[in-house]
A and B are shown apart, each in its own frame.
Chain A
Amino acid sequence: MTDLRTRWRDFRHGVSQRWDRMPKASRIGVIVVFVVFLYALPNKGFYEYLGLPLGEYIPLYTTRNDMATVLFQCGYYILLALGLNIVVGYAGLLDLGFFGFFAVGAYTVATLTSPRSKVFTEYNWLESPWPWLVALPLAIALSLLAGVILGFPVLRLRGDYLAIVTLGFAEMIRIVAQQNDWIFNGDRGIPNIGRPPGTNSDGSPIFQFDAKPYYWLILTVIIGMVFLIRNLVRSRVGRAWIAIREDEDAAELMGVPTYKFKIWAFAMGAGIGGFSGALWAGQIGFVNASTFKLEQSILVLAAVLLGGAGNIYGAILGGFLVIYVPEWLRSVGDVFGLPEQVRIAGELYDISATNLRYLFFGIILIVVMIFRPQGLLPNRRRAAELKDREKEAMVGA
């Protein structure tokens, strides 16, 4: 076991060293190839080209749901994880209601672009539905604003209080959304949400029911976001966040305006969450109150921590895994004939991976926190912080 571990460490070390020694041109080349690979993922033909056996079952391809749809779902979760990673991973604030911002983004787009939203049918606040692209910046701005408004009173609170208040906030948004006679139309929801613009050469719109263009769109957004967050974290703002995470009092004493930067982190995270919500609403075309459950917030948090809080690539890996793995397991189950339901004592039990995934995530959260609290792809500095703490043995523990 230890031998395997050291060999794995050496291997990783070797890879990263070789990567660092490569000329810049070839590094860019590798990245470009990887990005192209990502864009090609949802095409079935791509797998044939790779020479993978195309039979009943294609490795990594999902059979139960269209691959592009699954990848798009991964995409919006990755975006959410990137946003939450700023809040939890960099600034060290525990936000349990992150999906609330996703809801703000999604509902903003929905109410403004759907011809059947009450803004047009009942209240007549606006003349005609907005295009998706015009509603998008407003959705981001509103969720950013929601982050600031929420952060303003609660960021003075200590860690655990912050957790419970953010949780309450997400719950409050859901309760407001659930009111049938209010603007968000409750569980009946808002259909016919506007889609992103653009037409093919034959005049048909690009963004229809096929999920591939949406996947490509969200992939582009993610790549842009990675650049943005990388630069942000290396700037003064990012250094301030990390200082707050490591020791808030010390940071304050060193002249970092901690309160201001905490609100910044909250707002940035919220804006990205809202962006994700707007993209999602554009693809799915329908939102209602039952979409926004607490489990979703927890799933995003699980993604960030599983991947490795404080590391952009960790968040991406985590966001990908929490959606893709259950979906992939279902496909594997299909091929090998694993049952999705069992009958025990005359009652049918659903044992599919999708149904049980929260159970497994619960176990994974506990196990990861005990044995690998830094996550799968840890941030080096944060991992060192955790190691340091472990050394301080406690009295009577």
Chain B
Amino acid sequence: MNELINGFPVLTVTGLTQGAIYALIALGYTLVYGVLRLINFAHSDVFMIGTFGAIWTWSAFGLDASSARPSLGEALGLIVLAIVVAALLCGFFAMLVEITAYRPLRARNAPPLAFLITAIGASFVLSEGMGAFTNRRQFGVPAMLPTEPVVTLGGWSLTPLQISTLAVAVIAMVSLDWFVQRTRFGRGIRAVAQDANTAALMGVNKNRVILLVFLIGGLMAGVAAVMSDMKAASTRFNVGFLIGLKAFAAAVLGGIGNLRGAALGGILLGLVENYGSAVFGTNFRDFIGFLVLILLLMFRPTGLLGESLGRARA
């Protein structure tokens, strides 16, 4: 308990940063769930591919885990570039998963269980394919941003990485919210989420909307992947599993299918995990997340903000 009180500022800031990453991934789960009523298990491995995309981008510039830190300007440029590459890569793979694993099943009106199983299959193909491709090695991430805190106020301090993670997450989430609420494409997404068949009758191209949803989810995962890379300092072919599971828990926590719920759930999960690990020990960090999820589902099965993408303020 003492640790929680003494370390409260640090725990809060790291929790927020971690939570922002969860939230970005959770958006992908929640978008797909809102439109298709489907848990896209492969999303965690789409994220994993993004973590490699960032590393490959940096290594194309001759940077590896042991190279010296570039200057701040260079680093910012490289990070933005990595975000673009990782987001595009994730978006591509997310769409690939939809086209190969889900679309054929929709055409056959398969039962929901079948979708879940192809989702698991796709997840295995991605992670094990990457495992074979990278020889199951762990890859270090080159140092990018200085690690000393830049803002200090009382016990509170922020490192450049934390600032940039929070900033990137906020930008991504605000623009996504704008996209879904204000644009024509966003209206299509909301329409399909509300009632797919009626939307199709009104002239919405359902398959294109679904593809778009997967693309957006992938883009968000790519953004999260770069931030997570710099936070974790290494990546591996199976890195997606745990973080994906927690991001899904975050989506459920906030009310799956609800974009703002996913953001809230991610932040909350990040905070709860950090506070919990201070009280019960870091070994139980992962345990606490699941425990919170199960407890919440027992008492509020639709999550904190309720599940609806379509009805989330038209």
Residues in A lying within 8 Å of B, measured CB to CB: 88, 92, 94, 96, 153-154, 156-157, 159-161, 163-165, 167-169, 171-172, 175-176, 178-179, 294, 298, 301, 305, 347-351, 355-356, 358-359, 361-366, 369-370, 373, 386, 389-390, 392-397
Contacts and interface: CB of A to CB of B under 8 A. Distances in A.
Interface in B113-150: 113-114, 116-118, 120-126, 128-129, 131-132, 135
Given A171-B245, A171-B290, A363 B121 contact: yes
Interface stretch (B5-13, B59-67, B101-109, B181-189): B101-109
B33 to A, nearest CB: 8
A161 B107 contact: no
Contacts of A359: 124-125, 128-129, 131-132
Interface residues of B, number: 54
B124 A361 contact: yes
List of 10 A-B pairs having minimum Cβ-Cβ separation, nearest first: A362-B124, A396-B200, A365-B121, A168-B290, A362-B125, A359-B128, A366-B121, A395-B197, A358-B128, A362-B121
Interface in B152-181: none
Contacts of A96: 120
Contacts of B298: 153
Contacts of A92: 113
7 contacts: A92-B113, A163-B39, A165-B294, A171-B290, A172-B290, A172-B291, A370-B104
A212 B153 CA distance: 69
Most buried by A among B39, B120, B129, B248: B120
Interface string B83-111: 00000000000000000110011111111
A50 to B, nearest CB: 37
B297 interface: yes
B70 interface: no
A179 B283 CA distance: 7
Contacts of A298: 120, 124
Interface string B28-41: 00000100011100
Nearest to A170: B290
B197 A396 contact: yes
A396 B301 CA distance: 31
A369 B110 contact: yes
Given A175-B284, A350-B135, 11 more contacts: A154-B294, A161-B297, A164-B293, A165-B297, A349-B132, A350-B132, A351-B132, A359-B128, A359-B131, A362-B125, A362-B128
A389 B105 contact: no
Contact of A358 (B109, B110, B124, B252): B124
Contact of A394 (B106, B114, B121, B131): B106
A160 B112 contact: yes
Contacts of A163: 39, 116
Nearest to A182: B283
Given A347-B135, A394-B106, A159 B113 contact: yes
A359 B237 CA distance: 12
A356 B130 CA distance: 11
Nearest to A165: B294
Contacts of A159: 112-113, 116
Contacts of B252: 161, 164
A314 to B, nearest CB: 15
A365 B118 contact: yes
A153 B107 CA distance: 35
Contacts of B121: 361-366, 369
